[in-house]
A = this chain, B = another copy of it.
Amino acid sequence: MKFGGSSVADADKIRAAASRAIKTKKAGHNVVMVVSAMGDTTDNLVALADEVNRGKPAPKREMDQLLVTGEQVTISLMAMALEEMGQPAISFTAGQIGMITDDRHTKARLHTIDEKIIKRELAKGRIVIVAGFQGVTPSGDVTTLGRGGSNVTLVAVAAALKADVCENFTDVDGIYTADPRKVPNARKIDYISYDEMLELASLGANVLHNRAVEFAKKYNVPIHVRNSQNNNKGTMIVAETPSMERIVVSGAALKDKLARISLRHVPNIPGQAAGIFHTLASNDIVVDDIIQTIGENTATVSFTVDLGDFDDAKIVCDKLAKKLNCQVVYETDIAKVSVVGVGMRVHTGVAQKMFEALAKAKINIQNITTSEIKISCLIRRQQGAEALQLVHDAFNLGKKPQKKVKKTAR
């Protein structure tokens, strides 16, 4: 059972999470809890570090040494809450249960977990509480697992213990066909495959981080995303089953803070594009989608970046354009609307239906990118919300899928 920062934000919420764990334990299950730092703790620690560093980047090893304290506070308080309610419990930092990572501080990768200690404590009838988001190098330095790290911890512990299920408690009822804040008739999804979840997450559905889902897929650990405030059944993220293909589109997503950068009249020489993206990567700029069109002697290389990375990207691209003697065009009002579904593998006409829905509303599609189970369209940002609602409704996502579906429009 994993409880995120908002589910352990104060003493009452910690006690509520403890009660829930005790209920599960009393139903006959062994329980391991993975917890995040309380509420704004991590943000406050980062602010403190910024103050000490006068805005300069902090040494990463020391940043990790600082940040792991947030989760350590929560694990000990959670153990106290359980004990106070009469449930034997014990808390562990990553180091105490040998959650070994590499030494890439602030974004370390998990290598191994020594599950023996957890198993020993479970065998004593205890609830075991593990600090999320953290690891330890073989030489004893503490590390953090990057964004979404607590979910990586959750899935990794579950995999190591061969757990029946991971329960991921959040402040929403599960995964929705679209963000319910943007699409009022969005519907909770009961089952979704790992691959669909991976696509949705990378398209802006901000529930579960990709690395956790990849881990879950690799070890086939089912994740139950559910609300810590109620007992509703949430969304099960599971391995793909044949019946899932009956549903053509499972969800829609909008990423609305994008910028597009186009380098025009780039000399069409082999290795040129690789050189451009190598330069961007070495400046830590993450590129979203890439579209390259080739003319007679020159090419146009377009790509999107998060708006937050735009200023850095512009500096790099201005230099690049000068060096390559080409033209550069910046557009900062870009959004991306996408639909995802494993059913696309067997059903045709999905792209057409999406383009028609957007065309009817006079929404101009600037670029199209696709994968086996996803179609994305770049559009103007001011049309993003409307576009999301339109494609959501074009595929009837607001309605419960029928048990038996005929092959749909091609």
A contacts, CB < 8 Å to B: 11, 14-15, 45, 48-49, 51-54, 56, 58-59, 61-63, 65-66, 68-69, 72-73, 75-77, 79-81, 83-84, 90-91, 93, 95-96, 140-142
- Chain B residues within an 8 Å CB radius of A58: 80, 83
- Whether A53 contacts B96 in the complex (CB less than 8 A), given A61-B90, A62-B91, A69-B73, comes out as no
A80 touches B11 (CB 8 A): no
CB-nearest residue of chain B to A56: B84
- Chain B residues within an 8 Å CB radius of A45: 73
Nearest Cβ in chain B — how far from A124, in angstroms?
A: 14
B61 touches A66 (CB 8 A): no
B76 touches A66 (CB 8 A): yes
A77 touches B52 (CB 8 A): yes
- Chain B residues within an 8 Å CB radius of A81: 52-53
Number of copies: 2
A66 touches B77 (CB 8 A): yes
Q: Which 10 A-B pairs have the closest CB atoms?
A: A66-B76, A69-B69, A11-B51, A65-B76, A62-B79, A62-B76, A11-B52, A52-B77, A58-B80, A69-B72
B63 touches A76 (CB 8 A): yes
Identify A11's interface contact among B48, B83, B95, CB under 8 A.
B48
- Chain B residues within an 8 Å CB radius of A83: 58-59, 62
A73 touches B79 (CB 8 A): no
Nearest Cβ in chain B — how far from A250, in angstroms?
A: 40
Nearest Cβ in chain B — how far from A127, in angstroms?
A: 12
Cα distance, A77 to B51, chains bound together (Å): 10
- Chain B residues within an 8 Å CB radius of A72: 65-66, 68-69, 72
- Chain B residues within an 8 Å CB radius of A68: 72
- Chain B residues within an 8 Å CB radius of A91: 62, 65
- Chain B residues within an 8 Å CB radius of A56: 84
Cα distance, A81 to B59, chains bound together (Å): 10
- Chain B residues within an 8 Å CB radius of A62: 76-77, 79-80, 83, 90-91
Cα distance, A69 to B68, chains bound together (Å): 9
CB-nearest residue of chain B to A45: B73
B96 touches A141 (CB 8 A): yes
CB-nearest residue of chain B to A18: B52
- Chain B residues within an 8 Å CB radius of A11: 48, 51-52
Nearest Cβ in chain B — how far from A21, in angstroms?
A: 14
Nearest Cβ in chain B — how far from A184, in angstroms?
A: 38
Output the residue of A11, A59, A65 with the most chain B CB within 10 A. A65
Output the residue of A52, A53, A79, A140 with the most chain B CB within 10 A. A52
Name 17 extra pairs, CB < 8 A, besides A59-B83, A65-B72: A14-B52, A15-B52, A48-B77, A49-B80, A52-B77, A52-B81, A52-B84, A54-B84, A58-B83, A59-B79, A59-B80, A61-B90, A62-B76, A62-B91, A63-B76, A69-B69, A96-B140
- Chain B residues within an 8 Å CB radius of A142: 93
B53 touches A84 (CB 8 A): yes
A65 touches B79 (CB 8 A): yes
Cα distance, A176 to B319, chains bound together (Å): 66
- Chain B residues within an 8 Å CB radius of A75: 65
Nearest Cβ in chain B — how far from A208, in angstroms?
A: 27
Nearest Cβ in chain B — how far from A131, in angstroms?
A: 10
Nearest Cβ in chain B — how far from A239, in angstroms?
A: 36
CB-nearest residue of chain B to A11: B51
Provide a sorted-by-A list of 26 A–B residue pairs whose CB atoms are within 8 angstroms.
A11-B48, A45-B73, A48-B73, A48-B77, A49-B77, A52-B77, A52-B80, A52-B81, A52-B84, A53-B84, A54-B84, A56-B84, A59-B79, A61-B90, A62-B79, A62-B83, A65-B72, A65-B75, A65-B76, A65-B91, A66-B77, A68-B72, A69-B69, A69-B72, A72-B72, A96-B140
